[in-house]
Amino acid sequence: MKLIQAGDLDIAYLEIGPADGMAAILLHGFPYDVHAYGEVAERLAAAGLRCIVPYLRGYGPTRFRSPQTPRSGEQAALGADLLALMDALSIPKALLGGYDWGGRAACIVAALWPERVRGLVSCGTGYNIQDIARSGLPAAPEDEARFWYQYYFNTERGRAGLETNRRALCRFIWKSWSPLWDFDDETFEQSAAAFDNPDFVDIVIHSYRHRYGVVPGDSALGAIEARLAGQPRIGVPTIVMQGGADGVDPPRPDDHDAPHFRGAYRRAILPGIGHNFPQEAPAAFAEALLSLA
């Protein structure tokens, strides 16, 4: 475990592989942590890549440097954190891989700072930049049902539930989002320790309220959010990987994400894989990144 000052945060991260290797930054989602990339990072390191796996804001040992900094979970914050980490580590250009919140951070940097990205692997929702202006439009009933947790977190009952029952709630999410993944107690607890971060609840709640325009964002991030509102296209080489058994974001027959990409692009769907793609299918995830190296 290493720690580095980066922007608003002291970011905790794992590093594996040769220090002079091509950098690959691997970003976890909610509610997971760096252990999602254990096998992926080993495979990439064995191939000569320098793997950086950070704890996102609100997870594990990552901490805010100032008590005055808003505990924002908005998408601009995730992108800014990733860019600050690259700057702090003096990484001019990297392969980026992520899913869920981590995929959002990777997509944002790829869209707004493409000169910093060699290639992108994004899992689940391939184009993971939120269209907040359209967030109030209703989805199909089956999609709305899968988003129950988002509506729950928009209530004070949901905040209290996450605070009081965070392990049970997050384990339920793991199981429902990856119904075919037979993880054991040890695997879950290894990651669940990251949810004890003192800012975890505030950041999660802010994330799921901001994306619907219910609460304001951090004013310091307004310029980034304004750029994201334009739904910028991604021009770096990209592979979108989706789990055929993803319980929250199942792949659709038509690839609605493809128009958001203007560079080399392909989509792969793996049957039997759920939402936590890199931990459930590490070989496929690592192969995809290596193909972009």
Q: In this predicted model, what pLDDT tens digit does every residue of 34-92 receive, in sequence order? A: 999 999 999 999 999 999 999 999 999 999 999 999 999 999 999 999 999 999 999 99
pTM of the entire structure?
0.98
User: What pLDDT is recorded for position 269?
Assistant: 98
What residues pair up with 283 in beta bridges, in sequence order? none
Do 279 and 98 contact (CB within 8 A), yes or no?
A: no
**Over the range 204-239, which residues count as b (16 or more CB within 10 Å of their CB) and which as e?**
bbbbbbbbeeebebbeebeebbebbeeebebebbbb
From the number of C-beta atoms within 10 Å of its C-beta (0-12, 13-18, 19+), residue 176 rates as: middle
The CATH number covering residue 30 comes to 3.40.50.1820
Structural domain of 61:
2-292
Query: What pLDDT digit, counting tens, does each position of 220-255 carry?
Result: 999 999 999 999 999 999 999 999 999 999 999 999
Total structural domains in the chain? 1
